[in-house]
Amino acid sequence: MNAYVPILVVMTIAVVFSLLFLVLSKLLGPSRPDPEKLTAYECGVPTRGSTNLRFYVRFYVVALLFLLFDLEAAFLIPWAVSFRSFVADGVGYSMFAAMTVFFGLLVVGLVYEWRKGALEWE
């Protein structure tokens, strides 16, 4: 348990100091708001329109598709990098089979989306 005492100390310092500075700036800092200061910061140019924009719902499907490929890459790359050591350990075939199953399931998902028309931008 003693090994964790330094972490506790660091956490305490972090909490105490951040709260301290928040409170100090609130107490000591001058507060003279005007409309210019209160507007949202948008790269320095005058703000235009509302921030409550509507997003096209189709982006949602694209985001899901992205997730599919993103996960695939996140799994595939470490697997590919360590494949030589799998072969050296004699588990090359079973690791290949495992990745094929994973890949196959993802491809089924993609084919399904395709057939259902989720990839059409209409």
Contact residues: another protein, CB under 8 A:
1, 91, 94-95, 97-98, 105, 108, 111-112, 115-116
Q: How far is the CB of 40 from another protein (least distance, A)?
A: 28
To which residue do tokens 């799994």 refer? 75
The CA distances from residue 12 to 4, 8, 24, 35, in Å, are 12, 6, 18, 38
Q: How far is the CB of 91 from another protein (least distance, A)?
A: 8
Would you say 24 or 111 has its CB closer to another protein?
A: 111
Asked if 76 and 99 count as a contact pair (C-beta separation under 8 A), the reply is yes
To which residue do tokens 């509507």 refer? 54
Q: How far is the CB of 109 from another protein (least distance, A)?
A: 8
Would you say 54 or 115 has its CB closer to another protein?
A: 115
Q: How far is the CB of 122 from another protein (least distance, A)?
A: 18
Asked if 61 and 118 count as a contact pair (C-beta separation under 8 A), the reply is yes
To which residue do tokens 């790359």 refer? 77
Would you say 58 or 116 has its CB closer to another protein?
A: 116
Would you say 18 or 100 has its CB closer to another protein?
A: 100
- Distance (Å, rounded) from C-alpha 80 to C-alpha 60? 30
